[in-house]
Amino acid sequence: MVENCKKIKLLIMDVDGTLTDGKMYFSSSGEEIKAFNAKDGCGIAVILPYLGIIPAIITGRISNCVVHRAKQLEITDVFQNAAKKLVQLEELKKKYNLQYDEIAVVGDDLNDLEIFNVCGFSACPADACEEIKAISNLVLSRAGGNGAVRELIEFIKDKRVEVET
């Protein structure tokens, strides 16, 4: 598992239940509102570039909140309404000329299963569904939307340091 962390060049992130707590918030006008964790954002915007890892979002839903947050974090690869996440994974793999073992994924539910099965490293929040927990390389201690992505980024950073020393 430690060696896998050194190879990672791309981190694919789910949104609902991973970058957010998975709850659906709506204003009185019907606008969807999501809460994102600032520590996750710092890990994505500061630590991932330092590690040379490209962040990407592949999510099954469509939300303007996701576009706005991705823009804030300078995430250029954002795929929404992804019914089959493997299609977008293949597109990114080709775009960046990567092998599966150079791709990490973090997600929480059944729609993430197919990409969990092919990526070189997988992680999930503590409150992920049991099927995802069972196949994850790492079950994080934090719940989705509560710093789980930052925990994963710190884990990758720490494992890279272990490998180098």
Taking only the tens place, the pLDDT of each residue in 80-104 is 999 899 999 999 999 999 999 999 9
Q: Note if the pTM is more than 0.85.
A: yes
Q: What is the pLDDT of residue 160?
A: 80
Asked if pLDDT for residue 165 goes beyond 60, the answer is no
Asked if pLDDT for residue 2 goes beyond 70, the answer is no
Give 1's pLDDT tier (boundaries 50, 70, 90): low
Give 32's pLDDT tier (boundaries 50, 70, 90): confident
Q: Which residues of 42-69 are buried (b: 16+ CB within 10 A; e: fewer)?
A: ebbeeebeebebbbbbbbbeebebbeeb
**Cβ-contact 91, 110 below 8 angstroms:** no
Taking only the tens place, the pLDDT of each residue in 11-20 is 999 999 999 9
Q: What is the pLDDT of residue 119?
A: 96
Give 3's pLDDT tier (boundaries 50, 70, 90): low
- Average predicted confidence (pLDDT) for the chain: 93
**What CATH topology corresponds to 2-160?**
Rossmann fold (3.40.50)
